[in-house]
Amino acid sequence: MYDFSKDPRFKGIEKFDRKVWLSSPTTHGDEQKWVDEAIQTNWVSTVGQNINEVEKQIAEYLSIPYAVGLSSGTAALHLAIRLAGERLYGAAKVGHGTLEGHKVFCSDMTFDATVNPVAYEGGEAVFIDTEEDTWNMDPKALEKAFEIYPEVRLVILAHLYGTPGKIDDIRRIADKHGALIVEDAAESLGATYKGIQTGTFGDYSIISFNGNKIITGSSGGMLLTKNRTDADKARKWSTQSREDAPWYQHEELGYNYRMSNIIAGVVRGQINYIDEHISQKKAIYERYKKGLADLPVKMNPFDGENSNPNFWLSCMLIDSDAMSSFVRGEMDQLWQTEPGKSSPGEILAAIIQFNAEGRPIWKPMHMQPIYRSHAFITRNGSGRGISNAYISGQSAVDIGADIFRRGLCLPSDNKMRRETQDKVIEIIHRCFE
């Protein structure tokens, strides 16, 4: 392993005493009260006041009629996609998914939890390339995808790193083709687009309370919808689809996906801090932006006219001509130092050695071995056959692979002190010396 402590460029930089996290949970004490109350009153299962309250408070915060508390964002995505599949293609027979034989257009630059539930339902994800303005689904590539596959009726859209995508354009295109939208707002809770909260734009939307998100329940998630019947159905499916009978009676396939009242207690303690967490994350983003302004890099972009991101993760992108030699294989990578240049490989290795945590940009879905046989659509049509060009050291042709190649996520923990962040900024500068 490269030893940065022996590299003269890093002279005088000491390791951080305490690990600096990418994004760790931030609790405030209120969580304890609601968890204790659940235990003292013996409401520790999947029914109780905490669940009722968080469903009500999140629905109010987002201005959406119905929020259904579930065990995770992934569970919420599964039920959202199943609801959409049933509405589009009818209920599936037991042992079958609602999307069998159907393609679904999906964000390409996202966490795999966004797209895996398409496979749970037997559907086939088709990945849509990313645009450079917000690092989210490219409406032009989506248009192209509808030209190629006009029969598709479902679009799954994620807002990466807390930055709203081009929601209006995507909604217009989906409507034109009679398609539904499932919106994955797992990373973007509290972010708004034209003053409206993300998590309210989909026909079905979801948020997550996973430990690293803007607020957490330690785990947990929610399905969000404007339709009461759908909310009731999701609640029923999430509790094993029990019918209203004196015994266990089942007419539909069920899941054990309901939120626990203990988890809900943690969420309940966190809700009042969403806006505080966002302003801390925003300050971190702005400090990076200022601190890195003299380097050949850019911060992850957003549409400043229409959107207010929640700034969940601060990311940076190295200018193409400031990239030092850097190659990635399937599971490993090699980088070299070059004067005046750097690479995500070098910067992340440096950050780690000084006891801070960064992360590569989420590797696009079309580059994942599990989905390599799936279609991938760019503005120019099929993006297959070009996206591994970066391996040979050329710049990538599709946007997602290019951002993956040149970008990285910076330590974005909202408890990070100003001096700590200044030192991270200094380490990045030294990488470019």
Ligand X SMILES: *Cc1c(COP(=O)(O)O)cnc(C)c1O
The binder of ligand X chosen from 62, 68, 186, 191 (CB under 6 A) = 186
Closest approach of Cβ 70 to ligand X, in Å?
A: 9
CA distance 144 to 380: 7
184 touches ligand X by CB under 6 A: yes
> Candidates 67-75, 78-86, 266-274, 382-390 — which segment interacts with ligand X by CB under 6 A?
67-75
Q: Give the residue, chosen from 210, 260, 307, 378, that forms a contact with ligand X under the rule CB under 6 A.
A: 210
- CA–CA gap between residue 189 and residue 356 (Å, rounded): 25
Cβ neighbours of residue 426 under 8 Å, at least 6 residues apart? 13
Q: Residue 215 or 427: which CB sits closer to ligand X?
A: 215
Using CB under 6 A as the binding rule, whether residue 223 contacts ligand X is answered as: no
Query: Does 414 sit near ligand X (CB under 6 A)?
Result: no
Distance CA(67)–CA(181), nearest Å, equals: 17
From candidates 221, 269, 383, 411, binder to ligand X by CB under 6 A: 221
Cα separation, 97 vs 85, whole angstroms: 8
Output 134 or 342, the one with its CB closest to ligand X: 134
Q: Which is nearer to ligand X, 220 or 345 (CB)?
A: 220
Contact range with ligand X by CB under 6 A, out of 68-76, 351-359, 403-411, 414-422 = 68-76
Question: Where does this chain touch ligand X (CB under 6 A) — which range of 72-80, 349-357, 380-388, 423-431?
Answer: 72-80
Residue 222: which H helix or E strand, with range? strand 221-225
Give the bridge partners for 101, in sequence order. none
- Minimum Å distance from CB 386 to ligand X? 25
Least separation in angstroms between residue 429's CB and ligand X is 30
C-alpha distance across the termini of the chain, in Å? 20
With 0-12 / 13-18 / 19 or more C-beta atoms within 10 angstroms meaning exposed / middle / buried, residue 22 is middle
Q: Which two tokens stand for residue 258?
A: 């309901």
Taking the C-alpha atoms of residue 410 and residue 348, their distance in angstroms, rounded to an integer, is: 8
Residue 205 touches ligand X, criterion: CB under 6 A: no
From the centroid of its chain, how far is CA 111?
Answer: 6
Q: Is residue 111 at the binding interface for ligand X, with CB under 6 A as the rule?
A: yes
> Closest approach of Cβ 308 to ligand X, in Å?
18
- In the complex with ligand X, the residue whose CB is nearer, 114 or 197, is 114
By Cβ distance, which residue is nearest to ligand X?
A: 73
The b-or-e profile of 177-214 (16+ CB within 10 A means b, else e) is bebbbbbbbbbbbbbbbeeebbbbbbbbbbbbbbebbb
Pick one of 25, 73, 217, 309: the residue that binds ligand X (CB under 6 A).
73
- Confirm or reject binding of residue 378 to ligand X (CB under 6 A): no
Q: Which residues bind ligand X (CB under 6 A)?
A: 72-74, 110-111, 113-114, 158, 184, 186-187, 208, 210, 221
